[in-house]
Every structure is written in C-alpha cells, then in structure tokens.
Amino acid sequence: MTLLLQVQGVTKRFGGLQALTQVTFDLPAGEIFGLIGPNGAGKTTLFNTINGVYHPEEGRIVFQGKDVTKMKPYYLAKMGMARTHQIVRPLNELTVRENVMVGACFGHENQHLASAAKIADEVLDFVKLSSRADQLAGSLNVAQKKRLEMARALASHPRLLLLDEVLAGLNPSEIDGMIQMILDIRTQGVTIIMIEHLMKAVMNVSDRILVLDYGEQIAEGNPKEIASDPKVIEAYLGDPKLAERLMEDD
C-alpha cells in the first residue's frame, strides 16, 4: 500500500510557545485517521501545518511522494488536499452553489465553470443542501454551514480530506447523518484525517488514531490500543470534560 502522506518530525513554534513537537506519522491511502487530544493540544495547528497555512520550523511533510513542507495551501489544494474548518468560513455573499463551485474550480481538478456547477449540484445533493443552492451562504444555519464546508472540500474531488470537528455543535441525528457521510466518502477512495472531540464517533470510524497532548504525540494506534493506553487516560484525566465524555462513551 502506498503512503499518501508522511509527517516526519514536525515542530512548530509560535514565539516561545511550542505548539508541535516532533510529530511523526505515516498515512496510507484509503485510511480514516483520527486525531484527538485535549483542547489546545495542537490538533488544528497540525492541520494548518499539513496544508501549508503554517510552515514548520523543523521536520518534513511529504504528500504523494513529494516534499510539500514549504508549499502554500493553494498548491496543496491543487495536489488534492482539501479541508474543512473548525470555525466555519462560508463565503457569505456568494450563493451556496457558488461556494461549492469554488472548490471544484480551483481545487484538485481545476474544473471549468459549467462542469463545476454540475459537480456542485451533485455534491450538494450528497450533503443534502440542494434545496438551498441558490441561497446566500450567509443565510445558512450552523449545521448547514458545516455541511457546506464539507461540500466545498468534496467538490474538489480530493485525495486527502482534513476534517476539523465536523460533528461539533450538531444534534444526535445530524451526527449520525454526518458519520454516514464520512464513511460514504471513504468508499469513494478518499483518505481522511479527522479531528474530533466526540470519542464514540472517532473510535467507531477511525482505522487508526493519533493522540496529541501539549503538542507532543503521546500515542498512536488502532482504537482499541488507544482506549487502553495509560498515557492517553492520564492526559484525558487532566481534562475533566473529556474524561467525562470517555466514560459516557464506554
């Protein structure tokens, strides 16, 4: 199996703050890779470093066999990396369809406007936003905006999809719908890294999981190994809320 993404000893600092320390993992194509950790563990920073928003001080990132450590986000997008944001970033004054067309036009496949519109309609159908296609994105509610983020990412037909807390703020039925969607995406051959706070979802969906704590990689393995890893339990006891969720999930 070919490696889609290699993260090798990545270190990122902000002034005196060590946001990521020597993070290393390999990601084979076709996996769903979970990324968990307490608040402020550096998960989103890792995403930003992988997709070129930040450049690491040390280490290397290899995507599809190419060193992309110093590359800008738009080049990575064109190579087939797409992501969603924890805090949604809709293009408010554009319609929902136009939002999705941006992903199709400028992402991995560089579609023309006409074909992008077609893809947008398909993807909107898939994320169940078809009825909103002509509305302005700013008028959607939060759950819809999350689905829009997802749709924009999917419309580029990415190889690798970075999902940043797509379940947060959704109600249980919406969560089930979204999880189903993620699994469907994987069947289309898209590799996924997901940051998630909902342990149940991560445990159920992920093939492997990486745990970050204060920017350090404290564990990596399949869900079962992670659940029983003493370092993970210790880290999570430091965050009562998450510990609570762990209990609730098991």
Positions touching another protein (CB under 8 A) are 51, 53, 72-75, 77-78, 82-83, 85, 89-94, 98, 101-103, 105-108, 112-113, 116, 134, 152, 156
Tell me which DSSP letter residue 127 carries.
T
At residue 250, the 3 state secondary structure works out as coil
Indicate the residue among 151 and 201 with the shorter CB distance to another protein.
151
- Nearest Cα neighbor of 102 from 123, 87, 85 is 123
Question: How many CB atoms are closer than 10 A to CB 250?
Answer: 9
**Closest CB to another protein among 45 and 217?**
45
We find the least distance from the C-beta atom of residue 130 to another protein, in angstroms, to be 16
Shortest Å distance, C-beta 117 to another protein: 10
Which residues on adjacent β-strands are paired with residue 249?
A: none
SS3 labels along 19-34: EEEEEEEEEECCCEEE
Nearer to another protein, 106 or 214 (CB): 106
Q: Name the residue nearer to another protein (CB basis): 151 or 226.
A: 151
Q: Shortest approach of another protein to residue 112 CB, angstroms?
A: 7
CB nearer to another protein: give 117 or 219. Answer: 117
- Asked whether the beta carbons of 106 and 185 are under 8 A apart, the reply is no
Which of 12, 32, 56, 79 lies closest to 185 in space, CA to CA? 32
Name the minimum Å distance from CB 55 to another protein: 14
Beta carbon of residue 235, minimum distance to another protein (angstroms, whole number): 28
Task: Read off the tokens for 206.
Answer: 């992920």
